[in-house]
Structure 1
Amino acid sequence: KWLEKNNELKQDKNTLKKILLDLEKLVLRDAEVKVFDEIFKLIYAKLYDEWNGINNPEYQLEFFAGDRSPEQVKSAITILLEGAKRSWAGVFDSTDKIELIDTHLKVCVSFLEKIKLLNSNLRVIDEAFKYLIPEEYKKKEGQFFTPRPIQDMVVKMLNPKAREFVIDPDCGSAGFLLHSVKWVAGGVITGKGLPIAAKNFTQNNIYGIDFTKEAVKIAKAVNIIVGDGKSRIFGGGAHGDSLNPLLWNDEIKAALRPRLLRFPKSPEKDR
């Protein structure tokens, strides 16, 4: 309730993109860390904190700086990150940890503590997360983001229904998947949560695959934000070709096999 009441995104006092830009300018640029990696550790720690708050009425939020010492903040955020790693496997390596020094971390947490991510306005989240993809990686991988009007047009042509499945084997930051959710939700996604049909569609019927670790982190985070903690976004196969199902890893094959059967009542015909 406290976070809902003080949410700066909902009150239009701030935007996530501006907060991240300020963090990079004031703290992260000179912190000798990879900006993308450290911000997403904090994003996932915060998502885990909010998710616990929603699912456990007795839970007290831990993602805040307040009058705690930098060491106390570091301890709390580390615990949250470890919980996020367990809950949403495949986003981080088991050895990943907060690399920021304690004083820098406390400043970062103070910037993020009064924003609510779960069920936030997706346009705001989408714009902020796209900004985070490192420019050098975009150039190296030849990445680009499909313009929003084109995503809207393609989804409108496909006209996905709540009972249908949408699979994007090269999902990037999950733009097409989220526009599919938006379509099923009636054309808009606000911070008030999804209609039941659209929520079920988000949690159970959309799948995304990508070989870029940064894109997967973004896509999974956005999917978690929309789906109240659930995500069906997967990292690409061992050979880095998410478009080729023959190269998908076992996790992807197991998750998508029921969705890709041409003869669901006679699966032996698909072998």
Structure 2
Amino acid sequence: MSFLQQILKDTNYKISQFSEEQIKTLEREIIFKQDKKGNNVPYTTCLVRRKEIVLKPEEAVRQLYLLKLHQDYDYAYERMELEYAVTFGREKKRADIVVFDKVDSRAVYIMVEIKKPKLKDGKEQLHSYCNATGAPIGIWSNGESISYYHRKDPNYFEDIPAIPKSGQKLSEILNEPWTLEDLIKKDKLVNEKKSLKDLILEMEDEVLANAGVDVFEELFKLIFTKLFDEMESGRNKNRYLEFRNNGDTETELKEKIQKLFNRANDKWQGVFSKETRIQLSPSHLSICIASLEKVKLFNSNLDVVDEAFEYLINKSSKGEKGQYFTPRYGIDMCVRMLNPKESESMIDTASGSCGFPVHTFFYVKNQIHKEEGIVDDEMMTTKPPIPRVLDYVQNNVFAIDFDEKAVRVARCLNLIAGDGQTNVLHLNTLDYERWNEKTKDEDWIDTYGTGWKNIRRYRKIKSETKENQSYVNRDFEFDILMANPPFAGDIKESRILTKYELGKKPSGKYQTAVGRDILFIERNLDFLKPGGRLAIVLPQGRFNNSSDKAIREYIAERCRILGVVGFHGNFFKPHTGTKTSVILAQKWNDDPQAGALCPKKEDYPIFFATMQSPSKDNSGDKIYVKDAYGQDALDKHGHKYVHHDLFNHDGLTQDGIAEAFIEFAKKEQLSFF
């Protein structure tokens, strides 16, 4: 750990934004003086004031930023001033760094805020300083994350991708041609150390809270449009990206983005109606475009946009019935443990934004690419799938959810993966008796007809008659099922309860109310063929409570319980602190003609594991892996990765629970390893 990193330890300041040479340059200038107590105190000579100063954490970041302004952007130290007095009526405050205009030597051109290490605090301070001085450009940084703003008027601060160099105009930065290759190099998420969720929170603070629109819908439209724009350029390297303000007026920009949205809507049908229009005002849209235009949404597995959708849906509608999104590293663990194959079918019966199906698709796609000798690059998801991959995703991957917003997000992600086709259906999994009402609705069929036709191929009862109408949609023959069903709220409708064995009391009479997740256990087993395997997230109490013994016996009677993995109490925070586990099981199958995938046994070992690393703090914020210098470690895509013990992350972390289960599965000679 370098000396500067020791100074910044246990503070909100970091130095990952600066080059190694800039850090070494400052460290070479450090001297030590003894204070009255005999302690060695670090000093340096200020690059602008030319006097010795104590090197406190915020001062270290400030001196490094002076170096950056000078070395990277060619601004002379003579154009800079520190602790610049900003007047607010009778009160004066001190701005961290100002850069003066080249022509008018006392006009503030750039305002830099460093002393407020949290973006929200720093941004408010920065905006007030820019308004008071008339500075057109503002910068906030804490040494790790950074934000650049263009002040158009007192209420309008546009997020810009960078600041101009000393000899450049701001218009040159804003109007430069922009290809997908440029976007990859200057991706804001990598260069500014932010997440898409961070940017959405900024937009909510700045614009969307007072825009008088449905925030979910408008951001969904913009993300949908930008995904299409990136995909088009991924398939034509010479194409310029259109999701960008190239000096258009606000009205021209809105017209351009609406046309781009219309093209996306024609390509990926069934997410928005044909008549959908962007409702943001031209000025509000302009701010949002400025925030998003330098963000690369596509990467190797869509996890950037996945996280943003998780936040938006949780904020707008999820959680009402215990429908909490499964963290994607939990999903990846389950996928690795069930090891899906290209020849196998898969379904999620409570899919939310489709984490399990999408991650299953990428897992199988990677297997196929390995066999075909295809090396995946960062933008693989923008390219048309090869025939084997396309055949798999369009015929073998399915999802069902009853939340309409979640289904639309799921369809969006699956339409991309399936190159315009998807098997995501808006249905109530538990109330299968009423599916036929949906399938007679012309509007529903217009959107979901292809997926409905495909899923019918997996029904156990192939033809529908008047006698079996109520049961034709009950039993299916899928190879794999993965789901995190909602586990809050009871089902009280007797019409539904009488369709389930688990709806009965020990006496044989039907109960008046049954937990939603309990019915999902039985329903999910109905979707599996003999030998099929599943992973279901359930409340920990289902494995421990004496009152739930009958449920455990029901599962054991129909399946071989392969394993139970207990998640950490913080796993689903901030949405809930409910302790959960995932059960992995394989449906009994003694049929030699079907391969006897799971012959029934009375006694067999079960894999048990408990997640030790919390992966999130008590507030629900993710805990990221740190490098040897205490900075956030980055994976091969330049993204931070979560500190957990569920599996080995691309060789960057130690083997975890998934690898231990795979070893167990091979030892037990389970059919899928």
TM-score, normalized by length of structure 1?
Answer: 0.80
The corresponding residue for 1:223 is 414
The corresponding residue for 2:210 is 30
The corresponding residue for 1:193 is 380
- Output the amino acid matched with 1:234: V
Encode CA deviations 1:169-211: one digit per residue, 9 max, x unaligned. 321111111332343336xx98352796995444653222222
CA contact (8 A) 1:118 1:228 kept: no
| Bigger share in helix | 1
* Equivalent-residue separation in structure 2 for 1:228 and 1:55 (angstroms): 15
Encode CA deviations 1:145-178: one digit per residue, 9 max, x unaligned. 2344553443334320123222223211111113
| Structure 1 residue 44: Cα displacement | 1.0
CA contact (8 A) 1:10 1:191 kept: no
| Structure 1 residue 16: Cα displacement | 1.1
* Equivalent-residue separation in structure 2 for 1:193 and 1:203 (angstroms): 18
SS in 2 for 1:138: coil
Structure 2 residue 188 is matched with structure 1 residue 2: no
Q: 1:147 to 1:68 in 2, by over 3 A?
A: closer
Structure 2 residue 247 is matched with structure 1 residue 67: yes
Encode CA deviations 1:77-127: one digit per residue, 9 max, x unaligned. 101111122211111123321111001101101111112223355433322
* Equivalent-residue separation in structure 1 for 2:231 and 2:379 (angstroms): 16
* Equivalent-residue separation in structure 2 for 1:167 and 1:103 (angstroms): 43
Q: 1:205 to 1:147 in 2, by over 3 A?
A: same
| Structure 1 residue 30: Cα displacement | 1.0
The corresponding residue for 2:289 is 109
* Equivalent-residue separation in structure 2 for 1:198 and 1:111 (angstroms): 37
- Output the amino acid matched with 1:85: N
Q: Rg bigger for which structure?
A: 2
CA contact (8 A) 2:346 2:398 kept: yes
CA contact (8 A) 2:250 2:282 kept: yes
- Output the amino acid matched with 2:452: K
* Equivalent-residue separation in structure 2 for 1:143 and 1:133 (angstroms): 10
Counterparts of residues 53-92 of structure 1 (less than 5 Å): 53-56=233-236, 59-92=239-272
The corresponding residue for 2:454 is 255
* Equivalent-residue separation in structure 1 for 2:280 and 2:356 (angstroms): 34
* Equivalent-residue separation in structure 2 for 1:50 and 1:37 (angstroms): 20
* Equivalent-residue separation in structure 2 for 1:212 and 1:197 (angstroms): 32
Q: 1:148 to 1:115 in 2, by over 3 A?
A: closer
**Range with greater deviation from structure 2 (110-119 or 175-184):** 175-184
Structure 2 residue 236 is matched with structure 1 residue 236: no
* Equivalent-residue separation in structure 2 for 1:36 and 1:86 (angstroms): 21
| Structure 1 residue 13: Cα displacement | 3.8
| Structure 1 residue 12: Cα displacement | 5.9
Count of aligned positions: 261
The corresponding residue for 1:214 is 405
Q: 1:164 to 1:61 in 2, by over 3 A?
A: same
> Of 338, 346, 349, which aligns to 1:158?
338
Q: 1:48 to 1:135 in 2, by over 3 A?
A: closer
* Equivalent-residue separation in structure 2 for 1:229 and 1:3 (angstroms): 22
> Of 194, 198, 210, which aligns to 1:18?
198
| Bigger share in strand | 2
Q: What residue ranges of structure 2 are gaps of 5+ in the alignment?
A: 1-180, 368-375, 440-444, 466-471, 473-673
Whose relative contact order is higher, 1 or 2, with alpha carbons under 8 Å and at least 6 apart?
1
**Range with greater deviation from structure 2 (43-52 or 1-10):** 1-10
Task: Give percent identity, aligned residues only.
Answer: 37
* Equivalent-residue separation in structure 1 for 2:316 and 2:183 (angstroms): 36
* Equivalent-residue separation in structure 2 for 1:26 and 1:232 (angstroms): 35
* Equivalent-residue separation in structure 1 for 2:215 and 2:418 (angstroms): 26
* Equivalent-residue separation in structure 2 for 1:140 and 1:52 (angstroms): 37
| Structure 1 residue 218: Cα displacement | 2.3
Q: CA RMSD in A?
A: 3.2
Q: 1:94 to 1:233 in 2, by over 3 A?
A: same
